[in-house]
Each structure stands twice: as structure tokens, then as C-alpha cells.
Amino acid sequence: MADMEMPGMIMPWDGFSVLLLFVMWTVMMAAMMLPSAAPILLAFLELNHRRHRAAQPLVPTGIFAGGYLTVWTAFSTLATLAQWGLHKAALLSPAMAATSPALNGGLLVAAGVFQWTPLKRACLRSCRSPLSFLMSEWRNGASGAFVMGLRHGSYCLGCCWMLMALLFVAGVMNLFWVIVIALFVMTEKILVRGELFGHLAGVALVIAGVVIMTRLW
């Protein structure tokens, strides 16, 4: 559909097109975020088996993962609506990247500043300490596992949502930048100096955003 657009034209989207876009976002978010969730999934599996050996019911790890992915599915809904809005405003390129330098620069600056906020720090702390999260948030049964997945997914969303918004800068269909952002998320969560890496990246994002916006003057 994007390839059929002429400059200055806004092609209408029907319900099926929006549904396909939602499916694309949902699959992309799962592919980007599940690798970084591997540590807590493995920790849940190990703790679950320990409890099972102590005569506690065994809960499938997939239920925990389902709760986690439910949060990112909700985010995919919002991302789909945002992309639909940008399309209606004629602010998207055929590669599904924002064409407004002000918007691109603003998103980069906002993402960079967010890297230094207390909310980012608190959410990242939970993401970087999977065992501590499970020990403090443990709930029994399948419903408990799903709720734990929801709660951890919420921390993960709070940590990474601004980074995902940068897909509108790089291009939603740009596979290279999709992989780069996914690796960035993994680096923040897994490496010993991941938080420091995130802070330095935040500074770089702000600088890049300012450079883009100064071209408007």
C-alpha cells in the first residue's frame, strides 16, 4: 500500500489494513522483546521446578510469557493508532518513517532525556534483577504466573517504550534499526554496565535530536 502512494496523497486505510498493521507491530514487538526477557523466563522456569520438587504445582512458563506479551500487545495497539495518525497527517514515508524533522528531533531528544529519568531507572532495575523480581512478586497458580508476566511486562514497557517510539524515526520497516534497537534493549538489561551504557546512549540521542532540529533554523 505504501508503494502505491503518490507524493502529497493520503491513501485511505480500511479496517483490514489497520488489522495487518497491528499484527505486524505485535509480531515485531514479540521478536524484539522476548530475547531480552530470556533471563527472567529461565529464572521462572528454574524457580518453578524447585517449587515443584517441593510438592508445589508446576505452572507452564508459557503462561508467564503470555502475560508478558499481553503488555506488548497492548503497546502494539497504541503504536498502530499512532502510525495511523501519522499516515492521516501525511507525515510518513513509504518506509514508514516520520518525515517531519521537528518530530524526529523531538522524539530523539525525548528518548535521550528519558534514559536519565527515575522512572527509567526504576523499571530497568526490575528488568535487570529477574530473580529479585520473582522472589518479591511470586504468586501461585496459573493466574498468578500470568499476573507476574503482566507486572514484569509493565516494568519492561516502562523501561523501553520511548526506545520503541524511535522506530518512527528510523523507519518501522527498517530491519537494520529494528535489530539495533533490540540489541540495545538486551545490552541495557543484561550487561554489567548496561545502565551506564543507557545513560551514554541517552546523551548521544539528545545530541542527535538537537542536530536535526537545528537544521530547521
Greater model confidence, 15 or 192: 192
Model confidence over 186-212: pLDDT tens digits?
A: 999 988 888 999 999 999 999 999 999
pLDDT digits (tens, 9 = 90+) for 47-61: 888 876 776 777 889
* Statement: residue 185 has pLDDT above 60: yes
Q: How confident is the model at residue 95 (pLDDT cuts 50, 70, 90)?
A: confident
Distance CA 182, CA 160 (A): 10
Percent of the chain past pLDDT 70, that is, above it, reads 92
Q: What is the pLDDT of residue 9?
A: 41
Beta partners for 92? 98
Per-residue pLDDT, averaged over 19-27, amounts to 93
Cβ contacts of residue 81 below 8 Å, gap of 6+?
Answer: none
Least-confidence region, from 82-91, 149-158, 203-212: 82-91
Identify the DSSP state of 168. Answer: H
What is the share, in percent, of the chain residues with pLDDT greater than 90?
59
Using DSSP, how many helices (H) and how many strands (E) does the chain show? 10, 0
Q: Is residue 18 part of a domain?
A: yes
pLDDT at position 204 is 96
Answer yes or no: is 184 within a domain: yes
Higher-pLDDT residue of 51 and 213 is: 213
Indicate the number of domains in the chain. Answer: 1
Q: Is residue 72 over pLDDT 80?
A: yes
Residue 123 pLDDT more than 80? yes
C-alpha cell at 67: 502475560
> How many CA atoms does the CB half-sphere of 36 hold within 13 Å?
32
Sign of CA dihedral 76, 77, 79, 83: positive
At residue 50, the 3 state secondary structure works out as: helix
Single out the residue of 117, 123, 133 nearest to residue 188, CA to CA: 123
Q: Which of 24-33, 48-57, 160-169 has the lowest mean pLDDT?
A: 48-57
Q: Which domain holds residue 164?
A: 13-214
Q: How far is CA 113 from CA 132, 173, 197, 211, in A?
A: 27, 25, 14, 15
Which has the closest alpha carbon to 178: 167, 194, 190?
167
Determine, yes or no, domain membership for 3. no
In a domain, residue 7? The reply is no
CA 130 to CA 152: how far, in whole Å?
9
Asked if the structure places residue 6 within a domain, the reply is no
Does residue 2 sit within a domain? Answer: no
Is residue 4 one of the residues assigned to a domain? Answer: no
Average pLDDT, the chain: 88
In a domain, 191, yes or no: yes
Cell of 46: 528454574
